[in-house]
Amino acid sequence: MIDARNCLAAVGLFALCSVGAQASSESTTSQQKTTQTVTINSVDFKVADYYEFFTWETLPSDVLYEKEPLQTFINTNGDKHYYHVVYLPNGNLNWFQAAKLAEEAGGYLASITSEAENSFLFSLIDDPKYFFQFPKHVEGSGRANHYEIMIGPMLGGYQPEDATIPDADWHWLSGEEWSYTNWAQNLDDGVIDKDPRNNTQPNDSGKEKSQRILGFGELNQPVPTWGDYSDDAGTYGRRGPGRYGFIIEYNSKPE
């Protein structure tokens, strides 16, 4: 995905927040910044030290959420899985913060292993309210033109920090096999895809620009295709709004 930094900066920045629990700090001289390590679903990630991590009970009052009714789907193995769509009206949690909440709920950010599952999950969030849309470009504003692309709910796909090839080494937080994909493809039809640039995904990866996480979207309407995105968009207290929803998947029915 194109870097959302310029646009989100124009939308507004929040005050710097303190470092959350369950994280250890260390220096990364190559990037000249301090990071922390957070473990989510048994996977270790290096993230910026200003990321705060919350439980559902300790979420700040301005992190509003609506957890939609529980849904079920039987996957290709015959296993019944359960799903909660979480709507974030203020768009102020990033992928890692959402993934930590999904883990605390007893699940993980959703994995997609078949076309049928992809269609099912998209049907649950096929609504513009779940999608961040870059604002219309204004000449001379100093803001990059992102052609009103829409970024949808967060899913559980990620790349390791040292990944160097955009379409390689993707994983699911659930540990399920990475087999099915539905990356957005360049259309240039002026309706669903108004971006004149090559919008085929994934088009960036690794730690240089941190486009190492996965979500629905990447075109100008809510779509069931995927994009690779900056992992800090929507960060509570730092860079928001940017992420208006995520999907939690459970292997067994949550209590």
Torsion, CA 108, CA 18, CA 210, CA 226, rounded to 10:
40
Asked if 92 and 62 touch (Cβ cutoff 8 Å), the reply is: yes
Tell me which of 72-86, 213-227, 232-246 is least confident. 232-246
**4-24 confidence digits (pLDDT tens):** 333 443 333 333 333 333 333
Which has the closest alpha carbon to 173: 192, 159, 191?
A: 159
Beta carbons within 8 Å of 12's beta carbon, 6+ residues apart: 240, 241
Q: For the stretch 20-46, what's the b/e string if a residue is b when 16 or more beta carbons lie within 10 angstroms of its beta carbon?
A: beebeeeeeeeeeeebbebebbeeebb
Beta carbons within 8 Å of 97's beta carbon, 6+ residues apart: 51, 52, 53, 54, 234, 235, 236
Which has the closest alpha carbon to 155: 201, 81, 217, 221?
A: 217
Q: Is pLDDT at 36 greater than 70 in this prediction?
A: yes
Q: How far is CA 218 from CA 33, 41, 167, 208, in A?
A: 29, 26, 15, 20
Other C-beta atoms closer than 10 Å to the C-beta of 137 total: 13
Which has the closest alpha carbon to 149: 90, 208, 230?
A: 230
Q: Is pLDDT at 244 greater than 70 in this prediction?
A: yes
- Residues 108-118, mean pLDDT to the nearest whole number: 97
Provide the residue ranges of all domains of the chain, joining segments of one domain with +: 5-14+63-250
Which has the closest alpha carbon to 130: 152, 102, 155?
A: 152
39: tokens are 């473990």
Please indicate whether residue 76 or residue 86 has the higher confidence score (pLDDT).
86
Homologous superfamily assigned to 5-14+63-250: Mannose-Binding Protein A, subunit A (3.10.100.10)
